[in-house]
Structure 1
């Protein structure tokens, strides 16, 4: 087993199974200040970055004083070495933007939880302290350019249109535990996939919720540098479903709808939902 700095197994194994859709941009897409921080971090292995991030999350939720908000520390940047056509790799970088994402998540909980429960999870004092240490200009800039989308105990269907099983693959293991599977592809290719699928569904199945998801995903991707790379990180969900045929099933389902093959579409959807129903059952048991 891999040991972390706290003397136990990987901290990531103690967090809820969470998938991330991330955008990695080329170095020139960042300003001089960000490039300086990237230069200091770019040699840090990806596994070390993920472990540091997980440990920090655990420390926040285990504080004696209930305050899950992060402090405004130095920005954390992941690096993805994506292979080019000649076999050489090019580095691309992802900004964690943790403080902004935590603030957005807190605002979403405000709409989902009763005030009494919210006060236990996010005390008013913690929310006020977070607001006081948040730079409004930096927050607005991040909000317009968030590099991460997150989903707990599942993967949104639109993400399976964006990334496919034959895209660039990386696996991350801790002994016999699969910590993550990561698929990545150029943003231009991902954007083309989402637009084609959205156009097909708009004609053949405009009532499906995934159409709105694809439209929102396409709009999000257009805010980044044209040469960016998009990554789907399964996180611990990989241990439940990998090898995952969800992208293929969704592709078959969309194609079947476009061809008027309702039986084929229903069969693909059944395979897809059965696979992820089992994951949701684990979520409910927790």
Structure 2
């Protein structure tokens, strides 16, 4: 399945994701049974990613001109996490808790664990993406590609999803043709990291940290930039990121999934470079901050230029 996933990504835009996984009790009661069944199936991560990719390609070619997901087969990603009262010392990294297909394995005899869940929420996310597209510079073109009738039909799906699951929280943020620098503030090089490979290529890299760690890191970055560089756009991005993370259960985990762009940039020092850049700004070291930015730019600007390549 992993090999199929890699071949299926060839020719598609690089898409990365920032996901929050919550414990079962964080979800409405009517969702918990479906989530519990997803965890019991123990689907490999590769199988979930492949199913989502094939479904998205299927929507593009669906007759009738409706590109939106229906929500009937919404997927759920599941990751294991130590129980709240389990010791943290000696816990194996995430890469050691996976089988070759990426399925979650028990942490080992005598090691309590629980499952954390991240529903795809494709109906809600597709609606948000469509609204952003309509309001952007390509709005007139988007109106031609997505007829008003289909947008109205999808709004009905959104209203139905909200009525069943409450307003909820969107658990996934996606980025195309590169990873926002603000996301790297949430992670450090010591965080558990999975490198998924197939046929000599890196399919993706996934970094995870607890939501408590990510909130502490992003708040520290906001505090430094608010004093040293309040004019930076990154400060607004980090502020919005903080507000988003604060919506979730305190026992959640946060994952950065590089996607196929990992094959172009990994090993990647971006979390370190972003952290050093902010620390240099806070210390008034403009030379160090500029050096960190140059390293980031040399790594990511060529990726973003691919979006305009013919």
- Pair in the same fold by TM > 0.5: yes
Task: State whether residues 19 and 254 of structure 2, in contact with CA within 8 Å, keep that contact through their aligned partners in structure 1.
Answer: yes
Query: How many angstroms does 1:142 deviate by?
Result: 6.5
Q: Measured at CA, do residues 80 and 156 of structure 1 come closer, stay the same or move farther in structure 2, by a change above 3 Å?
A: same
Query: How many angstroms does 1:80 deviate by?
Result: 1.3
Query: How many angstroms does 1:117 deviate by?
Result: 1.5
1:84-125 per-residue CA deviation (whole Å, 9 max, x = no partner) reads 615345421101110010011111111125554123321222
Match of 1:183 in 2: 207
Task: State whether residues 22 and 147 of structure 1, in contact with CA within 8 Å, keep that contact through their aligned partners in structure 2.
Answer: yes
Q: Measured at CA, do residues 116 and 225 of structure 1 come closer, stay the same or move farther in structure 2, by a change above 3 Å?
A: closer
Give the TM-score taking structure 2 as reference length. 0.84
**What is the rounded CA distance, in whole Å, between the counterparts of 2:133 and 2:275 in structure 1?**
33
Match of 1:34 in 2: 31
1:204-252 per-residue CA deviation (whole Å, 9 max, x = no partner) reads 1111111111111111111100000000000011111111111111111
Task: State whether residues 165 and 244 of structure 1, in contact with CA within 8 Å, keep that contact through their aligned partners in structure 2.
Answer: no
179-188 or 39-48, larger mean C-alpha shift: 39-48
- The question of 1:248 aligning with 2:245 is answered no
2:159 to 115, 135, 139: 135
**Equivalences for residues 85-164 of structure 1 within 5 A:** 85=88, 87=91, 88=107, 89-113=113-137, 116-136=140-160, 138=162, 144-164=168-188
Match of 1:269 in 2: 293
Give the TM-score taking structure 1 as reference length. 0.91
For 1:75, what is the secondary structure of its paired residue?
Answer: coil
Task: State whether residues 100 and 142 of structure 1, in contact with CA within 8 Å, keep that contact through their aligned partners in structure 2.
Answer: no
Query: How many angstroms does 1:28 deviate by?
Result: 1.7
Query: How many angstroms does 1:3 deviate by?
Result: 5.9
38-47 or 87-96, larger mean C-alpha shift: 87-96
1:131-159 per-residue CA deviation (whole Å, 9 max, x = no partner) reads 23333561796765110111100111110
Unpaired runs of 5+ residues, structure 2, are: 92-106, 108-112
Task: State whether residues 82 and 91 of structure 1, in contact with CA within 8 Å, keep that contact through their aligned partners in structure 2.
Answer: yes
**What is the rounded CA distance, in whole Å, between the counterparts of 1:154 and 1:142 in structure 2?**
32
1:25 to 22, 25, 28: 22
**Equivalences for residues 44-59 of structure 1 within 5 A:** 44-59=43-58
**Cα RMSD (Å):** 2.2
**What is the rounded CA distance, in whole Å, between the counterparts of 1:278 and 1:262 in structure 2?**
24
For 1:110, what is the secondary structure of its paired residue?
Answer: helix
Unpaired runs of 5+ residues, structure 1, are: none
**What is the rounded CA distance, in whole Å, between the counterparts of 2:81 and 2:252 in structure 1?**
10
- The question of 1:16 aligning with 2:13 is answered yes
Task: State whether residues 162 and 168 of structure 2, in contact with CA within 8 Å, keep that contact through their aligned partners in structure 1.
Answer: no
For 2:185, what is the secondary structure of its paired residue?
Answer: helix
Query: How many angstroms does 1:273 deviate by?
Result: 0.9
- The question of 1:66 aligning with 2:70 is answered no
